[in-house]
Structure formats: structure tokens, C-alpha cells
Amino acid sequence: MSDQQKWSDGRIKGQNRLRLVLMGFTLCFMVITGRLVQLSIVNGMFKVEQKQASHESRLPRPDIVDRNGVVLASDLKVASLYANPSKIIDIDEAIELITSVFPSLDVAVLRKRLSNRKKKFVWLKREISPAQRDALYDLGVPGIYFRNETVRVYPNGRLAAHVLGYVDVDSRGLAGIEKYLDDQGALYTASLADPARQAALPAQLALDSRVEFAMSDEIAKAVEHFKAKAGAGIVMNVHTGEVVSMVSLPDFDPAYPKEAQNKRAINRITTGVYELGSVIKAVTFAMAFEAGVMNLKSRYDARAPLVIGRAKIHDFHAQRRILTVPEVFLHSSNIGTARMALDVGLEGHQDFLRKAGMFDKLKAELPGAAAPILPRKWGKLTTVTAAFGHGFAIQPLQGARVIVALMNGGILLPPTFLKRGREAAEGLGTRLVSKDTSDKMRYLFRLNATEGTARKADGLAMGYRLGGKTGTAEKVVNGRYSKDHRLNTFVGAFPMEDPQYVILLMLDEPKAVPGTFGYATSGWNAVPTAGKVVARIAPLLGIMPKLSDADRAKLAKKHMKKAEVH
């Protein structure tokens, strides 16, 4: 091979090596460049997105619907106004244009926010109308932007306010079922939020909005008619423990949470505790039946006040004779009921109340449940007064829950504001009393509606076979019980031959009005109100009236009186 040929081959090999080196450098440069691009651009974009996302404080919430699918709470898309101060060219001009559309904005606050050039994002106004958005958009103010958000709406206004609760400006639940959903993790995290998925998974309540409206309407009428401070009521399914309706008046509009801060707008069913008075006598009767210390034929001496130490226990409607068990119930005898509790004994009495859940805070889905107020010491006098509902205070929901057990065959169920089937409830209950005791309590409830203090309810809910027990409890004012300040309660069930629902209704400090003959006790106000409620809601709940011959005779007599008037 010639020298020229050798030189040519070496040159070619050198060029090939140079190309390989250059290709290697190029490849390394591309890898490094790509990594730099990723770090500087992609990650930068990601950080921007994270920063942007931090302003997206509102997460989609699931709809809340009643047991029949009626929407009670839902999200609505709205626009909100924000600014990037670093992009504002002329602050004075921007303020002038913005306040021309939003005259209610504080100019001093607006100027302070727009003057902070270091900030890239400041809220100016949340939840603006489409017309306001369009008006400001057309003005073309530099540095002013809009962000799509959601606002919580309640299509039925104040209806079921205490059950639903409300949310804050960032759509976080602060009360009621709204807070419960947050606490249970029903809201998805920002990375998983899927409005379409949430729309398909509403939170379904046990509430029936038709029943809720009827009861709210009747309680509002009663509060006005009897000049009461407040009113409240609850309807529960005796087989499932579902709260079909819960009303507490005064209430509030969930869309305006500030109204809920009014002390008078508290939820009296779960966040208030009260002495329920003679309503608790039903619990004492059931306890005595269950303990075997009495039966329906037993008798109790009510000829004179019951003396315990220095205290004397009197009857409001004193009969001053020996009473049978049904008569003690019909005349709501404090003396007879106290003797039952004494027969059971102090320890037995406490054990039964503890078993009934009256010594513990009752928790359901609604936050803010109140704990019972119990006596510091439990002596003989405590047992006597507690037997007829004085000296300890509980949530009305607790009282209704125990009555549910006395009506459904003896099973104590955990109450729920969420829809729950009968099969699901069966495994959750515990036995409080026997079926025999439950049957006896049903008998006494119905007897009291036909012959006792609950007659006015039965007359207004004719054909629905209502039964129940009244309670008129004196309230504590300045450390003493006041005869002029009462909490009136009625608790009942219907239809009594096979109870399906329990109703508890309260009126706070009702007054005597024309037609009550100077009386302001439960039988004259809470009882007839409950009768009107049952007459309206029973058909909605699928319970049809069954008129007896006596009912037909009463109706005929009523029609005759109307005809005479006309």
C-alpha cells in the first residue's frame, strides 16, 4: 500500500472518530438541555398551576336530597373577581372603573389590595352576577380577571335549615349535614374532585320535604297563635330510627349563615337540653312494667301528697283517691308515678335510664349534640322527681328515641338523619323492654288520646288512631321553677294498632289565649298542634284514615253544628 493510500485511510478514520465525539457531545447536550427545559419550564408551569390551584379554594360538594330525591342543597356555578396587582397600570383608574360596577366595595380597602405590587393574586369580590361580570369585562381593566367558582344554593329556602346546616364563603361545611359531609370525607381532595362523579352521588337524607313543610307550617302557626317564644318538632320512623322531619323555630336561611348566629335560632331538638316534664312518665311506666313491680291492674295511693323529707309531691289535677295504673297515666299523677319509681328502687331507676341512653350524650349525624344535665347526687328525692321529668334535662331527640323503642316492640335504635332501610336498622338496635311492655305502653298511649289529656289531638287527627302523652314542665328562671314559664311537650305515635311513626312537638312558653279558658298547659296548645300535624302528614306517609262508628258520629255532629251556624 502506498504512503498516499495510508494517509487517506488515516484521515478517514480520524474524521469518523471526530464525528463520534461530536455526536456524543451533541447527545449529552440534548439530554442536558431537555432536563433544563423540564426543570425550568415544565416544573415552572406546574408551580404556577399549583399556585393557581391554591386560589381555587372551593371544591364541588355533593347534592343533598330528601328521601324522595327532592334537591335540598346543590352547587351553582358563579364568577368571582380577582386582580393581579403587578399588572395594574393605573390604580386610580382601575378603582374608578371597578366601583362603577361594584359601588358597595370599600375604596380604601380596594386601594390597599391593588397597591401591593408584590402580590400576583388578590380577591376583590366573590360570587358576582353574570351581568356584573359582563359589565366589568367590557370596561377592559388591565390586571382584573374572573375565576369560575361554585356557590351553595338551597332551593327550598329555610326548609330543613337545622338539618342541612350551611357552608362558609369557601364552601366548607360549618353546621348540620353540610359539616357532617366534610367530617366524613365526603368532599374529594382537589386532585380527585370530579363534579360529574359528585353529581351522581348525592347525599340522601331520611327527611321527607313534604312532611317537613307541613310540620314547619303548623308549628309556625301555633307559635304565633299561642304567642310562644319558640316551637320545635320531630317525626321518627319507629322501625328504622330515621328522622323523617325535624323543625326548630325560629330558624334561618342556609344561604345567609349570619342568621344562624341569632341565639333564638338554635336547634332545640339536638343542641338544646330540657326538662320534658310528664312526657318522661311514659319511661317510668315502662320501667315499672319491665321490672315486674306493677301491672295494668295495680293501684297507687294518691289521696294525699307524697312526703319525701321536707318535700311534698302534689298532683296538678289531684284526684285524692287510690288510682289504677291507667288512671295514673290518664290524670298524669306525679304521686302515682313517683311511687312506681320508688318500687323499682334508686339503683334500678338509674340502671334503666342509663340503659335508655339518658345519661349519655346522644350522637347522630348532626354536629353539636348537647350532653344531658344530670343531678350531682342521686337520692330518694331525685328518683321521685326524675320519675315525672324534673331534675334532669335531655335532648328532645333522646326522649323521642326512647318512645320509639316503647312503640316498636321494645328495640332501642340509633337515630339517623340519613336514609336507612328497615333491614339495615335491625342489626343496630338493642332491646330496651319486652314486647309485652311495649304492648301495654301502646294501650296507655291510645287510652290517653281517647279519654285523657291527649283528646284534642285525636279529635283533630280523626281516623289516624293517634296516641300519646302530654308534658308541661316549669322552666327554671333565676334559679327557681317558675309557674309562669313553661315548656309544653306532646309525644305520640300513630296508628296505635301498629305504630309506624313517633311525633314529638314542643312549644316554649305558650300563653293562654281566647278559647283555652285561661289555661296554657300542653293539652291546650302542644296537643292540638300535634293533632293538626298528624292529620296533614299521615296521608303523605301512606297511612290512610280508618273511621270508627264513634268517629263518624263525631263528624256528623260537627257538620250539624256548622250547618246551624250557617
- Model pLDDT, residue 98: 93
- Model pLDDT, residue 22: 58
> Domain 64-204 belongs to what architecture?
Alpha-Beta Complex (3.90)
Q: State the amino acid at position 104 in one-letter form.
A: S
- Helix extents (H) in 104-260: 107-115, 130-139, 161-164, 176-183, 195-199, 209-225
Catalytic (active site) residue 278: yes
The one-character DSSP state at 269 is T
- Segment 335-385, tens digit of pLDDT: 999 999 999 999 999 999 999 999 999 989 999 999 999 999 999 999 999
Q: Where are the domains of the chain?
A: 64-204, 210-560
- With a CB cutoff of 8 Å and minimum separation 6, the contacts of 529 are 218, 219, 221, 222, 231, 490, 505, 507
Residue 285: CB atoms within 10 A of its CB come to 25
The dotted CATH code for 210-560 is 3.40.710.10
- Model pLDDT, residue 59: 64
- Model pLDDT, residue 551: 76
What's the first-to-final CA gap in the chain, in angstroms? 141
- Helix extents (H) in 367-507: 380-387, 396-407, 422-426, 435-451, 455-460
Are the C-beta atoms of 446 and 438 separated by less than 8 Å? no
- Model pLDDT, residue 78: 86
- Model pLDDT, residue 42: 36
Cell of 140: 377592559
Task: Output the DSSP codes for 2-40.
Answer: -HHHHHHHHHHHHHHHHHHHHHHHHHHHHHHHHHHHIII
- Model pLDDT, residue 360: 95
Choose the catalytic residue: 278, 332, 333, 438.
278
Are the C-beta atoms of 287 and 341 separated by less than 8 Å? yes
3-state secondary structure (DSSP) of residue 91: helix
Low-confidence spans in the chain with pLDDT less than 70 = 1-59, 186-200, 559, 561-566
Bond prior to 495 in cis (omega within 30° of 0): yes
**Which element (helix H / strand E) includes 526?**
helix 526-540
3-state secondary structure (DSSP) of residue 452: coil
